[in-house]
A and B are shown apart, each in its own frame.
Chain A
Amino acid sequence: MVSKVTQHPSQNEPLLFERSSPGKKGYQLPPLDVPAVDPASALGSENVRDEVAGFPEVSEVETIRHFTRLSTWNYAIDLGLYPLGSCTMKYNPRVNEAAARVDGLAWGHPYQPESLAQGAMEIMALLERYLAEITGMDAVTLQPAAGAHGEFTGILLMRACLESRGDARASILVPDSSHGTNPATARMCGYEVVNVKSTSRGLVDMEHFRGLLNPSVAGIMITNPNTLGLFEENITEITRLLHENGSLVYMDGANMNALAGISRPGDFGIDVMHLNLHKTFSTPHGGGGPGAGPVAVKRLLEPYLPTPRIVQEDDTYRYDYNLPESIGRVRAFYGNFGVFVRALAYILAHGNGLRNATLDALLNANYLRAGIEAHYTLPYTDRSLHEVVFSDAIQAKNGVKTGDIAKRLIDYGFHPYTTSFPLIVPGAMMIEPTETEGKQELDLFIEAMAAIAKEADENPELVLNAPHSTRVRRVDEVTAARKPIVRWEPAG
Chain B
Amino acid sequence: MSNYPANFRYTKEHEWVLVEGDTGTVGITDHAQSELGDIVYVDLPQVGSTMTQGETFGSVESVKAVSDLYAPVSGDVIAINDALAQSPEKLNSDPHGEAWLVKVKLSHPDEVQPLLSAEDYQSYIEG
Contacts and interface: CB of A to CB of B under 8 A. Distances in A.
Contacts of B61: 481
B115 interface: no
Nearest to B38: A478
Nearest to B87: A482
A50 interface: no
Nearest to A478: B38
Contacts of A481: 40-41, 61, 63
Contacts of A420: 64
Contacts of A477: 63
Contacts of B64: 420
Nearest to B40: A481
Nearest to A481: B40
Nearest to B92: A478
B88 interface: yes
A478 B92 CA distance: 12
Interface residues of A, number: 5
A420 B62 CA distance: 15
Interface in B63-97: 63-64, 88-89
A481 B37 CA distance: 13
Interface in A462-492: 477-478, 481-482
Interface string B12-45: 0000000000000000000000000010110000
A477 B38 CA distance: 10
A481 B65 CA distance: 12
A486 to B, nearest CB: 14
A481 B89 CA distance: 11
Nearest to A420: B64
Nearest to B41: A481
A450 to B, nearest CB: 28
A345 B67 CA distance: 45
B89 to A, nearest CB: 7
Interface string A285-319: 00000000000000000000000000000000000
B67 to A, nearest CB: 15
Contacts of A478: 38, 40, 63
Nearest to A477: B63
A477 B89 CA distance: 13
Nearest to B37: A478
Contacts of B88: 482
A482 B40 CA distance: 5
Nearest to B63: A477
A161 B54 CA distance: 37
B97 to A, nearest CB: 20
A331 to B, nearest CB: 29
Nearest to B88: A482
Greatest chain B CB density within 10 A among A420, A477, A482 is at: A482
A420 B40 CA distance: 20
A382 to B, nearest CB: 29
A482 B38 CA distance: 9
A407 to B, nearest CB: 14
A106 to B, nearest CB: 40
A478 B63 CA distance: 6
A401 to B, nearest CB: 12
A436 B96 CA distance: 54
A481 B36 CA distance: 14
B63 to A, nearest CB: 5
Contacts of B41: 481-482
B79 to A, nearest CB: 23
Interface string B42-68: 000000000000000000010110000
A420 B88 CA distance: 25
A478 B89 CA distance: 10
A445 to B, nearest CB: 25
A410 to B, nearest CB: 19
A481 B40 CA distance: 6
Given A420-B64, A478-B40, A482-B40, 10 more contacts: A477-B63, A478-B38, A478-B63, A481-B40, A481-B41, A481-B61, A481-B63, A482-B41, A482-B88, A482-B89
Interface of B: 38, 40-41, 61, 63-64, 88-89
Interface of A: 420, 477-478, 481-482
13 contacts: A420-B64, A477-B63, A478-B38, A478-B40, A478-B63, A481-B40, A481-B41, A481-B61, A481-B63, A482-B40, A482-B41, A482-B88, A482-B89
Q: 6 closest pairs, A vs B, by CB? A: A481-B40, A478-B38, A477-B63, A482-B40, A481-B63, A478-B63
